Chain A
Amino acid sequence: MSTIEIPYVSKPRPDTGLVNAKLGIWLFLASEVMLFGGLFSAYVLLRIGAEIWPEGVSILNVPLATLNTVVLISSSITMVMAWASLVRRDINKYRFYNYITIACGLIFLVVKYFEYSAKLHHGLFPSESTFLAIYFTLTGLHVLHVIGGMLVLAYLQFIGSKMWNTDPARFTGRVECAGLFWHLVDLVWIFLFPTLYLM
């Protein structure tokens, strides 16, 4: 398009020490925290008000969820490695780690698919009880976030990585932001897992 240039896209602004995208993504994460906060708050309120609340283990599949926890944590560390490779200016290593991250996301989704279908098979629909309702809502929204994160990572893997040749600093910044989002998805799961499955 035309030639106006937005400042501080790839170089940090001296007085704040930040590039625009970094501040932007953190603000976005703040709003995500409030979004899940609203849902967690609903969970607590419903649980306090309930006469009986089933134990997660009695309905949900803890081993599968544990597996998923491990998968997500692993994907977080590969995400860190991917970004670090870019800082070391090694785009091929970045691609390798990024692939693993995406693959982990995929595994997570497949496991989740089996979990969901088992529930639905046994007639455990969200409309059955408040527990199942909040389970499906929370994990469903989380799954949407996983999918969103994977789309971003895939974009950076293929089309987006062209920017590496024109503006490597900015591309590294983008990967860092995508990573922050991915870690948030991990973080949410870290809280979802015990709240729904273990207590």
Chain B
Amino acid sequence: MAENLEELDQHIRACIAIFVALLCLTVITVAVSYLNLPVPATITLALCVALVKGSLVVSYFMHLVSEKKLILWSLSLTVIFFIILMVLPVVTDLDVISHTITVKH
């Protein structure tokens, strides 16, 4: 790693801040789950918080923010296929032929 030490210090400080943020977010998401909101709201909130936490980890702990282009490219490919994979269950349910067909004369 040819990074200079000053940058490293900065990076570490950022990481510690993020560590604290992650802890707070964990508390928040658990607290929210005890509020007994309707299911769709719970799911949306929980997923949003998880997304924020996840992207913090990926960008700073895994220092993707300062990563080389090549890696970003291969990851964006993965993201696309990941999305396709996630769409898969939804499309399965899209218009399955299981409805009763009524024939009108």
Contact = CB atoms under 8 A, between A and B. Distances in A.
Q: Which of A76, A176, A184 has the most CB of B within 10 A?
A: A76
A194 B49 contact: yes
Nearest to B70: A16
Contacts of A110: none
A144 interface: no
Interface of B: 1-3, 5, 8, 11-12, 15-16, 19, 22-23, 26, 29-30, 32-33, 39, 42-43, 46-47, 49-50, 53-54, 57-58, 61-62, 68, 70-71, 74-75, 77-78, 81-82, 85-86, 88-90, 92-93
Given A172-B1, A190-B54, A41 B39 contact: no
Chain A, interface size category, equals: 35 or more
Contacts of B85: 34, 37-38, 41
Given A16-B68, A23-B70, A34-B85, A77 B19 contact: yes
B50 A88 contact: no
Interface string A37-69: 110111011001100000001000010001001
Nearest to B88: A41
A80 B56 CA distance: 14
B8 A87 contact: yes
A1 interface: no
A49 B93 contact: yes
Interface stretch (A25-33, A119-127, A134-142, A147-155): A25-33
A80 B29 contact: no
Given A41-B88, A88-B5, A190-B53, A73 B19 contact: yes
Nearest to B60: A80
Nearest to B41: A199
Nearest to A181: B62
B1 to A, nearest CB: 5
B74 A194 contact: no
A198 B46 contact: yes
A9 interface: no
B23 A76 contact: no
B33 to A, nearest CB: 4
A76 B82 contact: no
